């Protein structure tokens, strides 16, 4: 039966663009009014959509089963890897179903642990979350940032570690940066913007970031502007104080491109910054220093990454660890050497090298999978990491780089019977012959008869690699006979810079072709069939789902575009959207307009039979603003020719996803999986 949707009045707004030939291109935007999330009209529309979606989901018997099982699987201790400052150890831990993890401190990485900060006490509904922590060098003070309702805006405060009491410091309107302490603990650097105009938190753009120096115990109004470039409004600044306390290092970023400048100056001296890297030609990450000899991780001339040294005194540069066959995802200094965390077909390897660059040994990991966090210090042989896989809960380990031993730190690693499931890796062949890896998680002994409900997940952007990771909700899906597939598409970072760039700008269609190739591989090999194949992606992955379902609606049985970038002509007009142009290009560039129009999900919709679609967003997401999902949902409801429903699941206290409370995550996953199972069986 065809669904009756809430009224979505269509306006007559038209934008005019210029294409590569200089000709005018007129593009209608009938739902422009939905870009204002706080207008009475939008609020009424959101509420009507929520009532419709809730009525549909309430009728799904699978919803209650998923909610109960996900809750059971989620209810287990989740202990993060500790880190050490001033002889004290810190970690985040969730004993089970708390909405937010606790921050704890102990005299040893084995405990006993004392709760230093409980974010659950900061709001009644659990929607205030820790957005960043930085412990002072002697371990006496904690700078911690909080975000509310999923917003990217961060408020910084200072807590005394011994007493657990907050100092009076409160720093507002920070975004996209951490806190870097001075060696004497008198203050720290942080990034800030001007407060948004009234009502502009979702509609204004984030530009003109400043690096501020806050002195502990003083009001924010007295903070010193340490660095700003009003002539370069798109530049941002990430500060780091070297471990020896001698240098202030600035990584200058511009958007999400993995290209940055590096500026250095002696700390505490009135000297100009030395522009070690003075343009945006490649990615450079300062790992640390031995006096004036700096160690950097870069992809300059090495698409898969390498480690170099740079002598500030002589200016000499030298390759220390040259590019190898695997992509280097992270490098870190340790006593007498350095660690390299590399990716091979989307799984991690860890190796130790000496300070000449020579490989010393492979370091043990618990098995095939991924290192979620890696905490190191240049002068401490203790390394802490969290390891996970599709069938292994994240668990903390202590690695002694001197002897190479790996010690589990979890006080309780919950028993989980993984023998019922299996993980395999297969490769699809994309349209141009590129081999595209994907992990398949399925019940052991899966029958490839084309009947298995299958969830295909992808991202494919911004150099982010999708690696094996435990997810209680996806496990509940596989327990009920489903198959979960994670695709490693171009645009990500699985094979280095070239792999990433092959899925950007005018090459973005490669990402969608890779995803479609994975779907066709699953169908051809009998894992599933179009009627049983659902697709899911978040953010840039929401764009992926929107593009693929509009290009190949025949290929999928259901679609979940979540917090997706769906209007490719106007994404750069809101909050931090302008920063994504390095991957997407912009519609005000005539050379890119045609490419964007060709795949923009909102503009690709036409009268056709689309698969059942559940569009998921937060109504005040201030990263990918909800207007993307609102407009796409209204247009899809308008053009849908079949009986398949188009529903919007709209969270009123949820943002882009960071810091979302456990209770909301469980409910969200239960709704997504119930919708998929109902329409894919």
Residues tagged active-site = 539, 621, 656
Residue 299: strand, helix, or coil: coil
* Token code pair at residue 53: 């979606």
Per-residue DSSP letters for 45-94? HHHHHHHHHHHHHHT-HHHHHHHHHHHHHH-S-EEPPPEEETTEEEEEEE
Residue written as token pair 């490649």? 282
Q: Does the CA dihedral 182-147-629-43 come out positive or negative?
A: negative
Give the span between the Cα atoms of 369 and 299, in whole angstroms: 24
CA 601 to chain centre: 21
CA 174 to chain centre: 18
Q: Using DSSP, how many helices (H) and how many strands (E) does the chain show? A: 11, 39
Does the bond joining 433 to the residue before it have cis omega, within 30 degrees of 0? no
Which uninterrupted H or E stretch holds 40? Answer: helix 40-58
Residue written as token pair 């269609």? 509
List, in sequence order, the alpha helices (H) in 129-172. Answer: none
Residues of 141-170 as b/e, b for ≥16 C-beta within 10 angstroms? bbbbbbbbbbbbbbbbbbbebeeeeeeebe
Distances in whole angstroms, Cα of residue 293 to Cα of each of 103, 262, 308, 334, 389: 35, 15, 10, 15, 37
List, in sequence order, the alpha helices (H) in 452-532. Answer: 472-479, 497-501, 509-524
Q: How many CA atoms lie within 13 A of 210 on its CB side?
A: 15
Q: 230 burial class (0-12, 13-18, 19+ CB within 10 angstroms)?
A: exposed
């Amino acid at each position: 039966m065809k669904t009756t949707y809430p009224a979505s009045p269509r306006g007559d707004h038209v934008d005019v663009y210029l294409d590569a030939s200089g000709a005018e291109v007129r593009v209608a935007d009938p739902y422009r009014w939905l870009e204002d999330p706080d207008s009475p009209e939008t609020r009424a529309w959101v509420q009507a959509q929520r009532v419709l979606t809730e009525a549909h989901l309430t009728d799904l018997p699978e919803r209650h089963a998923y909610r109960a099982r996900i809750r059971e699987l989620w209810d287990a201790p989740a202990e993060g890897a500790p880190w050490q400052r001033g002889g004290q150890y810190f970690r985040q831990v969730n004993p089970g179903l708390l909405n937010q993890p606790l921050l704890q401190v102990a005299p040893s990485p084995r405990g006993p642990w004392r709760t230093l900060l409980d974010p659950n006490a900061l709001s009644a509904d659990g929607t205030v979350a820790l957005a960043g922590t930085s412990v002072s060098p002697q371990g006496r003070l904690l700078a911690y940032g909080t975000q509310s309702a999923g917003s990217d805006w961060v408020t910084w405060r200072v807590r005394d570690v011994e007493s657990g009491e907050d100092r009076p410091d409160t720093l507002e309107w920070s975004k996209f940066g951490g806190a870097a302490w001075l060696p004497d603990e008198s203050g720290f650097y942080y990034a800030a913007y001007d407060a948004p105009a009234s009502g502009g938190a979702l509609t204004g753009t984030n530009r003109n970031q400043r690096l501020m120096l806050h002195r502990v115990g003083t009001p924010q109004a007295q903070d010193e502007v340490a660095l700003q470039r009003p002539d370069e409004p798109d530049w941002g600044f990430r500060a780091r104080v070297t471990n020896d306390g001698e240098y202030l290092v600035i990584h200058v970023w511009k958007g999400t491109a993995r290209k940055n400048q590096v500026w250095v100056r002696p700390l505490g001296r009135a000297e100009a910054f030395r522009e070690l890297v003075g343009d945006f030609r490649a990615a450079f990450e300062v790992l640390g220093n031995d006096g004036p000899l700096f160690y950097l991780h870069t992809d300059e001339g090495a698409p898969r990454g390498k480690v170099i040294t740079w002598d500030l005194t002589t200016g000499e540069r030298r390759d220390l660890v040259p590019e190898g066959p695997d992509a280097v995802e992270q490098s870190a200094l340790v006593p007498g050497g350095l660690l390299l965390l590399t990716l091979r077909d989307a799984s991690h390897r860890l190796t130790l090298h000496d300070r000449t660059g020579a490989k010393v040994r492979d370091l043990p990991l618990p098995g095939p999978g991924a290192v979620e966090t890696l905490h190191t210090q240049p002068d401490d042989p203790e390394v802490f990491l969290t390891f996970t896989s599709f069938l292994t809960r994240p668990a903390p380990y202590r690695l002694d780089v001197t002897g190479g031993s790996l010690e589990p730190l979890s006080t309780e690693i919950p028993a989980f019977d993984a023998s019922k499931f299996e993980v395999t890796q297969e490769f699809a062949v994309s349209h141009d012959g590129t081999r595209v890896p994907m992990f398949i998680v399925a019940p052991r002994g899966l029958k490839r008869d084309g009947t298995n409900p299958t969830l295909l997940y992808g991202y494919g952007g911004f150099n982010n690699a999708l690696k094996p990771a435990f997810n209680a909700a996806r496990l509940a899906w596989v327990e009920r006979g489903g198959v979960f597939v994670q695709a490693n598409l171009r645009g990500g970072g699985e094979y280095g810079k070239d792999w990433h760039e092959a899925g950007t700008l005018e090459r973005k269609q490669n990402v969608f072709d890779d995803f479609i190739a994975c779907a066709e591989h699953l169908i051809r090999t009998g894992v599933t069939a179009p009627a049983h194949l659902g697709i899911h992606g978040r953010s840039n992955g929401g764009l992926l789902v929107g593009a693929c379902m509009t290009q190949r609606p025949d290929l999928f049985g259901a679609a979940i575009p979540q917090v997706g970038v769906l209007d490719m002509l106007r994404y750069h007009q809101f909050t931090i959207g302008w920063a994504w142009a390095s991957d997407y290009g912009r519609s005000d560039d005539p050379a890119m307009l045609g490419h964007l129009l060709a795949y923009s999900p909102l503009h690709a919709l036409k009268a056709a039979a689309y698969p059942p679609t559940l569009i998921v967003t937060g109504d005040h997401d201030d990263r990918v603003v909800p207007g993307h999902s609102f407009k796409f949902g209204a247009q899809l409801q308008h053009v849908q020719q079949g009986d398949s429903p188009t529903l919007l699941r709209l969270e009123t206290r949820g943002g882009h996803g960071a810091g979302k409370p456990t209770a909301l995550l469980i409910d969200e996953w239960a709704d997504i999986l119930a919708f998929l199972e109902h329409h894919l069986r």
